[in-house]
């Protein structure tokens, strides 16, 4: 029963901490922030399974991770140079129907993935694409050529 109580306490704490972070920060995590948040299970596991008898240790560790995510978010918001260091830059994959194979190779994207994104935008071929841009969040944005879609 003690394990159940520990899990409930950690669950409630993480739930409140994520709500305090806000939707914007949680919905637009950079890869670095996502990795930090994925560390939470490893951080709290000893407190749940009683390898470390201190539940406080888990709460302090999770609080530290959440604080780091918040500080990183604030620093990126306030410093444009840091934003480019932390967040990925958008990459042009297609321009005026011309596929940039060097960009595809660098980003490990196949032309089939771009074509699938184009089809979702109502386009039949890559020739109908004015711009295909890999956004910093990993999604492919498609801008159709004039007169298409």
Domain ranges of the chain: 2-86, 91-144
Q: What is the dihedral of CA 15, 17, 18, 23, to 10 degrees?
A: 130
User: What is the DSSP track for 63-96?
Assistant: HHHHHHHHHHHHHHHH-HHHHHHHSPPPEEEEET
Instruction: Count CB-CB contacts under 10 A for residue 27.
Output: 9
Q: Which residues contact 133 (CB under 8 A, 6 or more apart)?
A: 90, 91, 92, 93, 140, 141, 143
Q: Tell me, yes or no, if the pTM score tops 0.85.
A: no
Number of H helices, E strands in the chain: 8, 4
User: With bands split at pLDDT 50, 70 and 90, how would you rate the model's confidence at 20?
Assistant: low
CATH 3.30.450.40 fits 91-144, yes or no: no
pLDDT band at residue 23 under the 50/70/90 scheme:
very low
Nearest to 30 by CA among 81, 89, 88, 109: 88
- pLDDT score recorded for residue 24: 45
- Residue 69 DSSP SS3: helix
pLDDT, tens digit, 9 for 90 and up, residues 76-128? 888 878 776 666 678 899 999 899 999 888 888 888 999 999 999 999 888 89
Tokens of 62: 């999770």
Each residue's pLDDT tens digit, 30-78: 655 666 666 677 776 776 666 666 777 777 777 777 777 778 778 888 8
């Amino acid at each position: 029963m003690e394990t159940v109580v520990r899990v409930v306490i950690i669950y409630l704490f993480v739930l409140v901490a994520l709500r305090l972070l806000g939707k914007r920060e949680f919905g637009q995590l950079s890869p670095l922030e996502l990795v930090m948040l994925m560390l939470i299970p490893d951080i709290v596991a000893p407190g749940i399974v009683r390898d470390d008898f201190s539940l406080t240790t888990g709460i302090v560790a999770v609080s530290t991770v959440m604080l780091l995510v918040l500080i990183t978010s604030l620093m990126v918001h306030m410093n444009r140079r840091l934003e480019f260091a932390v967040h990925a830059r958008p990459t042009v994959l297609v321009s005026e129907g011309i596929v940039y194979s060097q960009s595809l190779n660098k980003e490990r994207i196949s032309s089939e993935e771009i074509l699938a994104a184009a089809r979702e935008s109502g386009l039949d071929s890559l020739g109908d694409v004015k711009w295909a841009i890999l956004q910093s969040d990993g999604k492919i944005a498609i801008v159709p050529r004039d007169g298409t879609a």
